[in-house]
Amino acid sequence: MIKVLSGYGGPGGSTVALDSLVTLLKSKGLNVSLYLDDSRKVWTGVKNDRKPIKQCNFSSSGKDTIIYHFLPVTSRPPCKKLILCSHETRVFPIKDAKLKYDEVVYVSNFQKDWQGVPGTVIPNVIRKYKPSSNKSKCAGIIGSVDGNKRIPMSVERALADGHTDVRLYGNISDPTCWFGEVVPLLGEKVSYRGIADDMQAVYDSLTDVYHSPELETFNLIKAECKYAEVNYHGNEGNDTQAEYWDNDRIYEAWKNLIST
């Protein structure tokens, strides 16, 4: 069995990416279970069945493959292979963390270079949202509300382009940023729409997405906009130029890593 564990189960790119990876592996006939941190409210945007991470029991036979994310695994559990799946930079540096693993998987070469630890780059699975027509001009800003996302910059750019309906979607992960930087922007032209469980409905309503993160490991939003045929407005100079692979190539890379 393959067990995928994450120390975070809330809304965000890493949760979407792990959930999509589990979907892909299951579609290829692999036996996969997803375990998420349930100390907070678990996001309903997760498509797969998941269990609280505290319920994860490791087989005494040691034949499971463990893929873990955002967890301080400093002692090796009994398993056939232990893979650290890294999606972060500053919020989860691994170079000096004394973590246990057999392999590290990164989502981009930029992230691998930033972390400074050898590993394998396998890009995230992309959820391919369908395009929608007959939409009124509307701008979206998608992502967690924190300083790294630089939401005021995105709002300013959207308004400068003439948008009069700017909608913010995302988890409020930094209350200081929310109250100090975002709340003052809300008004007739700018609204907060909360955490979206159905991203297809979100992209159905948007003509443009503005995205201005300071540091990004993998740009899921850019790829999602491509398939949804929504105009993507990134911030020049901070695009990681991550590669986007088709599902078969992603699966083959994971299969090779798991089986060796």
Tens of pLDDT, residue by residue over 14-73, are 999 999 999 999 999 999 999 999 776 678 889 999 999 988 888 767 889 999 999 999
Please give the average per-residue pLDDT across 201-221, as a whole number.
94
pLDDT for position 192: 98
Q: pLDDT tens digits for 68-81? A: 999 999 999 999 99
For residue 223, pLDDT beyond 80: yes
pLDDT at 62: 83
What are the CA-CA distances from residue 24 to residues 75, 85, 155, 195 (Å)?
29, 16, 35, 24
Determine the length of the chain.
260
45, 61, 53: which is closest to 7 by C-alpha?
53
CB 103 within 8 A of CB 254: no
Please report, rounded to a whole number, the percentage of residues in the chain having pLDDT higher than 90: 84
pLDDT at residue 241, as a whole number: 74
Each residue's pLDDT tens digit, 89-124? 999 999 999 999 999 999 999 999 999 999 999 999
Strand partners, 141: 168
pLDDT at 97: 95
CATH of 2-125+244-259, one of 3.40.50.2000, 3.40.980.10, 3.30.390.50, 3.20.20.210: 3.40.50.2000
- What pLDDT does 238 receive? 65
**DSSP three-state, residue 16:** helix
CATH T-level assignment (fold) for domain 139-233: Rossmann fold (3.40.50)
Q: State both tokens at 167.
A: 């909608």
Q: Please compute, for residue 247, the number of CA atoms within 13 A of its CA located in the half-sphere on the CB side.
A: 13
151-161 pLDDT, tens digit per residue, is: 999 999 999 99
Mean predicted confidence (pLDDT) in 244-253: 97
**For the residues 144-170, what does the mean pLDDT come to?**
96
pLDDT for the residue 215: 86
| Beta strand ranges found along 101-159 (DSSP E) | 103-106, 120-121, 139-142
Closest by Cα among 10, 95, 20, 21 to 65:
21
Query: Which pair of tokens denotes residue 214?
Result: 């300071």
Return the number of other C-beta atoms located less than 10 Å from residue 207's C-beta. 17
Supply the pLDDT for residue 201: 95
The one-character DSSP state at 145 is B
Average pLDDT of the residues in 175-179: 97
Domains of the chain by residue range: 2-125+244-259, 139-233
Per-residue CA distances from 69 to 93, 125, 167, 191, 198 (Å): 12, 16, 30, 33, 24
Mean of pLDDT values over 131-158: 94
Other CB atoms within 10 A of residue 75 CB: 7
Whole-number average pLDDT of the chain: 93
